Amino acid sequence: MVSEHKSDDLKTVRLRDPGSNALAEQIKEMARNGCFREAELLREQLLNSNPMAIDSIVSSAAVIEAEKTRHLDPDHLSAWSDLYDELGSEEINALFYSLKRTQVAAGKLLFAQGQPNNRLFFLESGRVTLFYRKGQKNYPVITLAAGDILGEDSFFGISLCPFSAATQSDVKLSYLNRRTADDWRENQAGLYEKIAVFCQQHGVSEEAAEQKSSGRRDYRRYPLRGSVTAHLLDQQRQRTATYFKGWLTDISRSGICFTIHCSRQQTARALLSRDTDIALVFNDQDDKTVELSGTIVKLSFHLHSDYSVHLKFSEVLTIDLFKTFPCDWSAEEKF
Q: What is the pLDDT along the chain (335 residues), one digit of tens a residue?
A: 333 333 333 333 333 344 677 777 888 878 788 777 788 788 888 778 777 778 777 877 887 778 888 888 899 999 999 999 999 988 999 999 999 999 999 999 999 999 999 999 999 999 999 999 888 899 998 999 999 999 998 898 899 998 999 999 999 999 999 999 988 877 787 898 899 889 988 887 656 665 555 445 568 889 999 999 999 999 999 999 999 999 999 999 999 999 999 998 889 999 999 999 999 999 878 778 999 999 999 999 887 889 999 999 999 999 999 999 998 776 554 43
Q: Report the candidate in 316, 321, 318 with the shortest Cα–Cα distance to residue 280.
A: 321
List of residues 6+ apart from 276 with CB closer than 8 A? 230, 231, 232, 233, 293, 294, 295, 296, 311
Residue 238's pLDDT is: 95
Residue 284 contacts residue 296 (beta carbons within 8 Å): no
Q: Report in angstroms the alpha-carbon separations of 210 from 129, 201, 214.
A: 16, 16, 7
What confidence score (pLDDT) does residue 65 get? 79
Per-residue pLDDT, 19: 62
Q: Distance of CA 74 to CAs 39, 79, 81, 96, Å?
A: 23, 9, 10, 11
DSSP string, 88-147: -HHHHHHHHTT-EEEEE-TT-EEE-TTS---EEEEEEES-EEEEEEETTEEEEEEEE-TT
pLDDT at 333: 46
Q: What per-residue confidence (pLDDT) applies to 28?
A: 80
Instruction: Please choose, from the candidates 109, 106, 163, the residue with its C-alpha nearest in 3D space to the C-alpha of residue 140.
Output: 163
Q: Give the tens place of pLDDT for each residue, 130-165.
A: 999 888 899 998 999 999 999 998 898 899 998 999
pLDDT for the residue numbered 29: 79
What pLDDT is recorded for position 334?
Answer: 42
User: What DSSP assignment string belongs to 267-324?
Assistant: HHHHTTT-EEEEEEEETTEEEEEEEEEEEEEEEEE-GGGEEEEEEEESSPPPHHHHTT
Is the distance from CB of 286 to CB of 292 less than 8 angstroms? no
Question: Which residues have a Cβ under 8 Å from the Cβ of 275 and sit 6 or more positions away?
Answer: 232, 233, 237, 293, 294, 295
End-to-end Cα, the chain, rounded Å: 74
- Cα 196 to the chain's mean position, in Å? 10
When the pLDDT of each residue in the chain is averaged and rounded to a whole number, the result is 85
3-state secondary structure of 217: coil
Long-range contacts of 102-106 (CB under 8 A, 24+ apart): 102/172, 102/173, 102/174, 102/175, 103/170, 103/171, 103/172, 103/173, 104/167, 104/170, 104/171, 104/173, 105/167, 105/170, 106/167, 106/168, 106/169, 106/170, 106/171
Q: Is there a contact between 137 and 197 (Cβ–Cβ < 8 Å)?
A: no
CA-CA distance, 29 to 295, in Å (whole number)?
A: 53
- DSSP annotation of 190 reads T
Q: What is the pLDDT of residue 330?
A: 66
- DSSP at 50: -
H or E element that contains 251: strand 239-252
Which has the closest alpha carbon to 269: 296, 304, 231, 233?
296
8 A C-beta contact, residue 162 and residue 212: yes
